[in-house]
Amino acid sequence: MFRRFGSRVTILERGEQLLEKEDEDIAEEIAAIFKDSGIEVKLKSNCISAVRSGNAITVKYDCEENREDITGSHLLLATGRISNTEDLGLERAGVKLDDKGYIVVNEKLQTSVPHIWAMGDCNGEGAFTHTAYNDFQIVNSHLFEKRKRFLSDRFTCYAAFIDPPLARVGLNGNDIKEQGIKAKVAIMPMNKIARAKEKGETARKLKIFIENNTNKILGATFLGTGADEYIHTIIDQMYAGASYEIIRDAVHIHPTVSELLPTMLGDLKEF
């Protein structure tokens, strides 16, 4: 936003890639998005310090690519989030915390004290608005409904609202390799999709992972125009527990980005 308003923007990232939880190729695509927007991205930046001089802030850092100072008007330091439970008196109630300070919960979101439940960021099971609402649905089902919901029913999904957006559900390539799962992958560049061409937004790509033994969808990572909307096609299919072949053989509306999901699932590669 600030870059589009005309400000000069530099991102200093301590890690080897942006968004460390994403596959390397996706992280590289995101870095390219920023660079194409005129944002300077410097990876492996360590030993960061800042000094104010009048209305200016000078940031010193040690980066493998370059060693220099950056002077600007504003500094945003994003360090992540930690639990905020230490002043709740939970130890007096006998409510257990994990080593990161999150409240330990079971599949029903009950704490170690059965009549106490923990929803939202404090339980460390999501930290999104949509997962917090689902936490309510789980607890509400066990208190007041016949149909019961459980934490294990949930697939992790989220979006990063950059331009174009990143959308993700389930496992990505790194997760699959770490877990030793035999899988196939479908990949579709956005420049092969008619709707993307018509919108003039042909950058980036879509990835869907399929488990070999079950033919079920393990997860998907979409980076492209509208990705935060049509990712729900995959999310719903995963909740249905259906084979990827259901989408592969479906007829989707032209001209949409979603219409290419069946096409890409007809061309799986060994992962």
208 is written with which tokens? 């869907």
The CATH number given to 157-270 is: 3.30.390.30
Within 13 Å, how many C-alpha atoms sit on residue 44's CB side? 6
Single-letter residue type at 5: F
Helix (H/G/I), strand (E/B), else coil: 142? helix
Each of the 271 residues of the chain gets a pLDDT tens digit; together they read 999 999 999 999 989 999 999 999 999 999 999 999 999 999 888 877 899 988 999 998 887 666 778 899 999 988 888 888 998 999 999 999 999 999 999 999 999 999 999 999 999 999 899 999 999 999 999 999 999 999 999 999 999 999 999 999 999 999 999 999 999 999 999 999 999 999 999 989 999 999 999 999 999 999 999 999 999 999 999 999 999 999 999 999 999 999 999 999 999 999 9
Task: Determine whether 254 is an active site residue.
Answer: yes
Name beta bridge partners: 206: 188, 222
Tell which CATH classification among 3.50.50.60, 3.40.640.10, 3.30.420.40, 3.50.30.60 matches the domain 90-153: 3.50.50.60
Q: How far apart (Å, rounded) are the C-alpha atoms in residues 104 and 96?
A: 6
CA dihedral sign, ordered 139, 143, 144, 149: positive
Q: How far apart (Å, rounded) are the C-alpha atoms in residues 96 and 102?
A: 9
Which residues of the chain form CATH 3.30.390.30? 157-270
Which residues of the chain form CATH 3.50.50.60? 10-72, 90-153
The CATH number given to 10-72 is: 3.50.50.60
Whose structure tokens read 């002077």?
71
Catalytic residue among 74, 130, 232, 254: 254
Single-letter residue type at 148: K
